[in-house]
């Protein structure tokens, strides 16, 4: 079965992002596919490469990066949500006249069309967070 995931919760503000990662990991271990995870609203904070978790905390960014790398899973952040929340890649940082970029290289900025495409290509779409 193919699952698309929609992550709406921030990595620290809700359990939604952690639940999404745990679901993706379990589904992949069971032989299912997770071709795309779409991060929207507060969920885009999961892609912030400048986040520095305490030593005794889980590195949530590293988990998403590893999942993407090992399972060929696209990590897409909503373009509108990233701009509003200051999670920018180099191109968008330049376009917005900002001095730095902080989007992790494992993630890419995309529009809602990619979410819609995932809903049509996957068997199920699950939403995490609020």
CA gap 119, 130 in Å, rounded: 19
Active site (catalytic) residues? 78
Cβ neighbour number for residue 12 with a 10 Å cutoff: 14
Strand ranges (DSSP E) for 1-130? Answer: 2-7, 33-39, 74-78, 107-110, 124-128
Structure tokens at 104: 């992790």
Residues 44 and 85: beta-carbon distance below 8 Å = yes
- Start-end of H helices in 1-130: 16-29, 60-71, 79-85, 90-95, 112-121
**Element counts in the chain: helices (H) and strands (E):** 5, 5
């Amino acid at each position: 079965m193919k699952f698309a995931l929609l992550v709406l919760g921030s990595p620290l503000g809700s359990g939604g992002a952690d639940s999404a990662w745990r679901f993706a990991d379990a589904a992949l271990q069971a032989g299912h596919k997770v071709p795309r995870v779409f991060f929207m609203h507060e969920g885009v904070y999961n892609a912030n490469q400048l986040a520095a978790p305490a030593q005794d905390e889980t590195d949530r960014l590293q988990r998403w990066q590893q999942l993407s790398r090992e399972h060929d899973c696209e990590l897409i952040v909503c373009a509108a949500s990233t701009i509003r929340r200051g999670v920018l890649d180099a191109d968008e940082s330049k376009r917005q006249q900002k001095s730095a970029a902080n989007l992790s290289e494992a993630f890419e900025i995309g529009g809602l069309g990619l979410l819609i495409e995932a809903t049509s290509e996957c068997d199920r779409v699950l939403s995490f967070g609020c």
